[in-house]
Amino acid sequence: MIQNTEKLETRQSRPAGDGSEIEITLGLLNAVGENSAVTQRSIARDLDIALGLANAYLKRCVRKGLIKVNQAPRNRYAYYLTPSGFAEKSRLTSTYLLNSFNFFRQARRQCSDVFAVCAEKGWERVALAGCSDVTEIATLCARENNIEIVGIVDDMTLSDDDSGRAEYVGLPVAANLSDLGNKVKAVLVTDTSRPQEIFDRLSKSVPADRILTIALLNISREQPKFAED
C-alpha cells in the first residue's frame, strides 16, 4: 500500500542510532550521486523517513561539504556530490556492509552470479582485488562455478620485506596485477574498505568489461559528476 504525502510528512522519524544514521546518510548520498535533480520528497519516500528528517540530513551533508547545492530553473535545486561526498559514500558503504546481518548471504549470491557469467564467457582464471570478508566468500563461490582464483592484488597487505610472498586464504598476494601472470582473464573487486578507489585504479590498466563488481560494494562504473566551482 502506497503512503500518501501527508503521512510521509507527519509520521515519526526512525530512531537516531548509529546504524540508522549511517543508513540514512548513505541512502542520501546514493540518491544524489545517481540523480542530481533528486528532491527532498523523493528522498524521504525512498528512504522511508519523514520529510523533515530528509531535510535535516541534507543540510548536514551540505554543511559538512559532502553535497553542493546549485540553483536550477523554476526555483528548483540541483544537488551534487563533492569529492569528499563521493569518498564518504564509499566509506559508509564499507561500514554499513560490515554491520549488515544479510551481508554473507548477499555477497555469496552476488559473487556466484558474477562467476556464473565468467564461466559462460570462458574466463576461467580470475584475480581478486583486495583482502576482506568478500575475498573469502569469493573463493568459495569460485570453486562452485569451476573458476580458478589465481591470486589477490592488494598492495596494503604487503610489507616492505614481503617481496610478493604474502598469502591470504591460501592465495598469493601481489602488489600489481602483472605479478600474477598474463593469463588472468578478469578481476573481481573484493576490497570493502576502499572499493571505489580500487576500481578506479584498475580502470587505468584493465578493460572496463574485465573489471567485475558486485552490487553490495556500491561501486560506480562511471566517473562521478561533481559540482562545478
- Taking the C-alpha atoms of residue 207 and residue 222, their distance in angstroms, rounded to an integer, is 13
| pLDDT above 50 (res 152) | yes
Q: Tell me which DSSP letter residue 37 carries.
A: T
- Taking the C-alpha atoms of residue 157 and residue 106, their distance in angstroms, rounded to an integer, is 25
Structural contact between residues 159 and 185, judged by C-beta atoms closer than 8 angstroms:
no
pLDDT at 166: 83
Does the predicted model carry a pTM greater than 0.75?
no
What is the mean predicted confidence (pLDDT) over 62-75? 84
User: Nearest to residue 199, comparing CAs of 66, 208, 82?
Assistant: 208
75-110 pLDDT per residue, tens: 678 899 999 998 898 888 877 766 666 788 889 999
pLDDT at 138: 96
pLDDT at 157: 55
| pLDDT above 90 (res 173) | yes
Burial, 102: exposed, middle or buried (Cβ in 10 Å; 0-12, 13-18, 19+)? exposed
Helix (H, G, I), strand (E, B) or coil at 208: helix
Task: Among 78-92, 145-159, 199-213, name the one with the lowest average pLDDT.
Answer: 145-159
Mean pLDDT rounded to a whole number for the chain = 82
- Taking the C-alpha atoms of residue 174 and residue 110, their distance in angstroms, rounded to an integer, is 25
Residues 6+ apart with CB under 8 A from 113: none
pLDDT at 216: 87
- Taking the C-alpha atoms of residue 223 and residue 229, their distance in angstroms, rounded to an integer, is 17
Taking the CB of residue 218, how many other CB atoms lie within 10 A of it? 20
13-61 pLDDT per residue, tens: 444 444 578 889 999 999 998 888 888 999 999 888 899 999 999 999 9
In the chain, % of residues over pLDDT 90: 49
- Taking the C-alpha atoms of residue 44 and residue 30, their distance in angstroms, rounded to an integer, is 13
Residue 52 CA: distances (Å) to CA of 13, 30, 126, 180 = 9, 19, 47, 52
